[in-house]
Amino acid sequence: MITVRFKDKDHTIEEARERLVEIEQEMRAVDEEAGDGDLDEEQQETWRSLDADAQELGRLLRKAERRQRLAESRAKWGSIQVGGRKEDPFDGDPRVMRTEEVRSRSLAVLNSGEHSGHLRDDQKEKVERVLRTQNGDLDGELVGRLMLATENPHYRSAFQKAASSANPGYTPEESRAIDQVRLVKRAMSIGTPTAGGLAVPVLIDPTIVMTAQGSPNDILRLARVETITNDTWRGLRSAGVTWQFSAEATATTDNSPAIARPEIATHRADGFIPFSIEIGMDWPGFAEQMAGLLAEGYDELLAEKLTVATGANEPGGLIAELAASTSPDVSVALATSGVLQASDVYGVWAALPSRFRRAANCAWMSSTDVQNTIRQLGTVDPNFTVNLTEEAIPRMFGRQYPVNDFMEDMPDGTGTEPLLVVGDFRGYVVAQRAGMTVELVPMLFDVTNNLPTGQRGWFAWARVGAGVVNPNAFRLLINNDGS
């Protein structure tokens, strides 16, 4: 079912239409109350809020209606075949299918409630973009082949058995499906799992379906996230072409920009995922629970590493790379060591080039401790006054301000600790290699008495990389070292 997610709540299309009518009625009531006079301050605020809601809900509703029309059209044509038989998207070997056939079949699976009923609309949209993308970093056709192999009902049932049994008895069809997935992964150069390893079905794989909307990781939410099917993301970066006005019939100047080719290598991320043996065996419930288990620890690992990682076998952390940047403009020091003043916040904002201040993904970020210090600046500067019933400062200078407690707290004296970052987070790229693999640990034991806990576990691994591709898109407020 197509839904509209508005103000952190899912609505059916009909509910969204009804809410839009209600908003328009509320706006009409405000207009009638004001009569021929101007709106007072309270009415203006109400009008602005209702108008913003109407614009946003209308946009989301139109998008959902387009998706519904598309899904209905695909369902109609995808269910018709010569002889009146319904086409089975899993009929055949996905390794040898034609490109057009792989795309049409994988999209049919994505739009089938049987396979994707546990996904939100934003997750379906992301998978569809992946399937339709074909460039040097991402081959959507390969992901489509992997989807047809791993979402095959025989492979799904084998995957469920592996999650619930130490010695699963596979049917001949399930054994063939497992072998087919291994061959597809080998063809994709993803790597062949060990004898006990199984590829995660595409539609519960967090390296493919995880989106910003479903992640509490604000760096991941704001950054440029690329799904890739090779081991290294290769991009293009340019400062842009400089334009100018010229007199009639005069030669222009050479404004060719310098082109950089940033590269981000991926590294292995692995984790251990415990789960109870009572997990549901119907596929929709199983898929939803497993998707959550797989994503939770992976997302928490990324929240830390995308902030501060500096290791050779890790993604480059945003704050760590900015702090180590050789660009003299990136870091802005406090005026007084260990003391954060309003002028420091104004200064770092002014230091950020205006084109990055205007960017849609421009945001602030700091630890809770640093944000609390900024809250207290409201005692001397009313521009920083925040309602203390708010959980955090939602926006500063009109830009988002999420907290990240992997960043430094306020220091007491001199130093160079990075305290506050602001910038266009699209200047930081996260590259996720499509495809996660898991291997079952059949029984977990209590560490104190060595008795079984009634849990099993998965050892899971995937590949991910990250790095700053445009340091000039950020400014980092650091402590003063006293020099």
Residue type, position 72, single letter = E
75-79, 145-149, 450-454, range with the lowest pLDDT: 75-79
pLDDT at 459 over 50: yes
Kindly give the pairing relationship between strand 428-433 and strand 224-228. Answer: parallel
Q: What is the mean pLDDT of residues 12-38?
A: 82
Answer yes or no: do 287 and 175 share one domain: no
The two tokens of residue 234 are: 């290769």
428 CB burial (10 A radius; 0-12, 13-18, 19+): buried
Answer yes or no: do 205 and 227 share one domain: yes
CA-CA distance, 363 to 474, in Å (whole number)? 10
Q: What is the mean pLDDT of residues 437-441?
A: 83
Q: Partners of 271 in the beta sheet?
A: 460
Q: What is the pLDDT of residue 196?
A: 52
The b/e string for 131-141 (b: 16+ C-beta within 10 A; e otherwise) is bebeeebbbbb
* DSSP secondary structure string for all residues of 221-284: HHSEEEEESSSEEE--EE--PPP----TT------PPPEE--EEE-EEEEEEEEEETT---SHH
Most confident region among 123-137, 291-305, 341-355 by mean pLDDT: 341-355
Determine contact, residues 124/110, Cβ cutoff 8 Å: yes
CA-CA distance, 124 to 130, in Å (whole number)? 10
Question: What CATH number is given to the structural domain containing 420?
Answer: 3.90.1690
Question: Is residue 440 a part of any domain in this protein?
Answer: yes
Q: What is the pLDDT of residue 195?
A: 44
Q: What is the mean pLDDT of residues 243-270?
A: 77
CA-CA distance, 261 to 238, in Å (whole number)? 9
Q: What is the mean pLDDT of residues 23-52?
A: 82
Determine contact, residues 204/294, Cβ cutoff 8 Å: yes
Question: Is residue 249 a part of any domain in this protein?
Answer: no
Q: For residue 86, name the pLDDT band (cuts at 50, 70, 90).
A: low
Q: What is the pLDDT of residue 415?
A: 92
Question: Is residue 92 a part of any domain in this protein?
Answer: no
Q: Where are the alpha helices (DSSP H) in 275-375?
A: 283-308, 318-323, 342-351, 354-357, 368-375
Q: What is the mean pLDDT of residues 238-258?
A: 69
Question: Is residue 175 a part of any domain in this protein?
Answer: yes
Q: For residue 187, name the pLDDT band (cuts at 50, 70, 90).
A: low
Higher pLDDT, 359 or 30: 359
Question: Is residue 16 a part of any domain in this protein?
Answer: yes
Answer yes or no: do 296 and 443 share one domain: yes
CA-CA distance, 474 to 113, in Å (whole number)? 42
User: Could you tell me what percent of the chain has a pLDDT over 90?
Assistant: 34
Answer yes or no: do 413 and 452 share one domain: yes
Q: What is the pLDDT of residue 189?
A: 60
Rounded to 5 degrees, what are φ and ψ at 180? -65, -40
Q: What is the mean pLDDT of residues 390-400?
A: 84
Kindly give the pairing relationship between strand 331-333 and strand 362-366. Answer: unpaired
- Return the H-helix or E-strand segment holding 363: strand 362-366
Q: Three-state DSSP class for 203? A: helix
Question: Is residue 87 a part of any domain in this protein?
Answer: no
The two tokens of residue 116 are: 């994707």
Question: Is residue 247 a part of any domain in this protein?
Answer: no
Q: What is the pLDDT of residues 223-240, one digit of tens each?
A: 999 999 888 998 766 555
Q: For residue 84, name the pLDDT band (cuts at 50, 70, 90).
A: very low
Most confident region among 51-60, 246-255, 350-359 by mean pLDDT: 350-359
Answer yes or no: do 344 and 277 share one domain: yes
Residue 462 DSSP symbol: E
pLDDT at 315 over 50: yes
CA-CA distance, 48 to 52, in Å (whole number)? 6
Q: What is the pLDDT of residues 264-275, one digit of tens each?
A: 999 999 888 777
pLDDT at 82 over 50: no
Answer yes or no: do 194 and 204 share one domain: no
Q: Is 83 left (phi over 0), alpha (psi -120 to 50) or beta?
A: left
Answer yes or no: do 268 and 370 share one domain: yes
Q: Three-state DSSP class for 181? A: helix
Answer yes or no: do 289 and 394 share one domain: yes
Answer yes or no: do 451 and 302 share one domain: yes
- Return the H-helix or E-strand segment holding 419: strand 418-424
Q: For residue 283, name the pLDDT band (cuts at 50, 70, 90).
A: low
Answer yes or no: do 346 and 424 share one domain: yes
Nearest 5 degrees, angle CA 413-CA 417-CA 421? 130
Give the domain extent around 336: 200-236+260-483
Q: What is the mean pLDDT of residues 242-263?
A: 72
Answer yes or no: do 224 and 181 share one domain: no
Q: Where are the alpha helices (DSSP H) in 119-225?
A: 121-132, 140-150, 153-164, 172-187, 206-209, 218-222
Answer yes or no: do 424 and 455 share one domain: yes
Q: For residue 335, name the pLDDT band (cuts at 50, 70, 90).
A: very high
Mean model confidence pLDDT for the chain: 84
CA-CA distance, 392 to 344, in Å (whole number)? 20
Q: What is the pLDDT of residues 136-155, one digit of tens each?
A: 888 999 999 999 999 999 99
Q: For residue 61, name the pLDDT band (cuts at 50, 70, 90).
A: confident
Question: Is residue 354 a part of any domain in this protein?
Answer: yes
Q: What is the pLDDT of residue 214?
A: 55
Q: What is the pLDDT of residue 328?
A: 82
Q: For residue 429, name the pLDDT band (cuts at 50, 70, 90).
A: very high
Domains of the chain: total: 3
Q: What is the mean pLDDT of residues 462-474?
A: 93
